[in-house]
Amino acid sequence: MTDARFDILGIGNAIFDILGHIDEAALTEHGLVKGSMRLVSAEEVVAVDNMLTEAIRVSGGSAGNTVAGVASLGGRAAFIGKVADDEFGDAYAHDMRRVGIEFRTTPLKDGAPTASSVILVTPDGERTMNTFLGASQQLTVADIDTDLVDGAAITFLEGYLFDPPAAKEAFRAAAERANASGRIAALTLSDTFCVERHRADFRAWLDRGQIGIVFANEKEALAMFETTDIEAACKGLAALVPTVVVTRSEKGARVITNGEAVDVPAETTKVVDLTGAGDLFAGGFLLGHARGMAPADCARLGALAAAEVISHFGARPQVHLKEFAAKAGFPL
């Protein structure tokens, strides 16, 4: 739609990340599953944080990273997510607005603090996340700014927000509204454990025909259908959703649009920290889609954005992706 004020509206957990390096042995010792996201209490955040000998703090959250990528690529982006009325919440809002993202969700007062995630990065660049949802899980239907949903070509929802029941309701409302307004709702399955927790709900929701684009990595796609056959998993998703995007790390991505599949290779780059790779891939893909690009080009733009973010520590772009994309032949 050409009348959209925003290319992408992201709705997700507004999380302040605490990132540090850790060795494989320490992960194993603490019984943590590499590459996963687990939900923890405020006390556990402190305990995991204590495993680190250095830490940087950056704004994060899956859909938040995605829209930061969209903005960095030169797209018009908005975000809905719940921070608390505290310093980390202020910093989060500041980081959104500094890149031009429309962010006006009312902060939570007198409740839980802003969400934080301790992200342990192993020498291979993999990240293991320990997330305290805090204020972010207090997102409700009342926070779904219908003006933003109506004005965005695509409303992008992160599967992680299925964990808090009120947020799940907010998600349904946002997707319904997007569809009613002739817009597209997109969803990422987020994480294999997230799929395990919400398989039936995800399935039922995809079955209702409200999701126009679904993102999954290989493991999430397999978990969704409890299979080890990736072809079967791709077909399963394609039977439910018009556009399916399955990311396969260094093997690239497969896009299936109305039954037609295309494989796109990954961009080669030095891997420092995989945090945000999937989020930024989604950002590039979605912006391409909102701008009417062919599926393979959408995936290439996604791969480009992902490559930048895994080449450094942290899940937000450190260069203007717009210039990066222009050099690669994508004028945005």
Helix (H), strand (E) at residue 224:
helix 218-224
- Residue 187 as a binder of its own copies (CB under 8 A): the answer is no
- Of 4, 27, 99, 261, the one binding its own copies by CB under 8 A: 99
- Of 34, 98, 208, 251, the one binding its own copies by CB under 8 A: 98
Name the minimum Å distance from CB 239 to its own copies: 40
Name the minimum Å distance from CB 160 to its own copies: 22
Residue 142 exposure: Cα atoms within 13 Å on the Cβ side: 5
Q: Alpha helices, DSSP H only, in 113-187?
A: 146-151, 165-180
Q: Which residues, 298 to 327, sit near its own copies by CB under 8 A?
A: 312-314, 316-320
Q: Which residues, 10 to 69, sit near its own copies by CB under 8 A?
A: 21, 46, 49-50, 52-58
- Residue 2 as a binder of its own copies (CB under 8 A): the answer is no
CB 121 within 8 A of CB 127: yes
The C-alpha atoms of residue 319 and residue 5 are separated, in whole angstroms, by 25
The C-alpha atoms of residue 130 and residue 46 are separated, in whole angstroms, by 10
Helix (H), strand (E) at residue 91:
helix 87-98
Name the minimum Å distance from CB 94 to its own copies: 7
**3-state DSSP assignment of residue 101:** coil
First to last CA, the chain: 16
Q: What angle do CA 191, 194, 195 make, to 5 degrees?
A: 90
Name the minimum Å distance from CB 27 to its own copies: 17
- For residue 115, what are the β-bridge partners? 15
What binding mask, one character per residue, do residues 256-295 give for its own copies by CB under 8 A, x or -? Answer: ----------------------------------------
Name the minimum Å distance from CB 314 to its own copies: 6
- Residue 86 as a binder of its own copies (CB under 8 A): the answer is yes
Sign of CA dihedral 259, 262, 263, 269: negative
What binding mask, one character per residue, do residues 200-219 give for its own copies by CB under 8 A, x or -? Answer: --------------------
Interaction site with its own copies (CB under 8 A): 21, 46, 49-50, 52-58, 72, 86-88, 91, 94-95, 98-99, 113, 312-314, 316-320
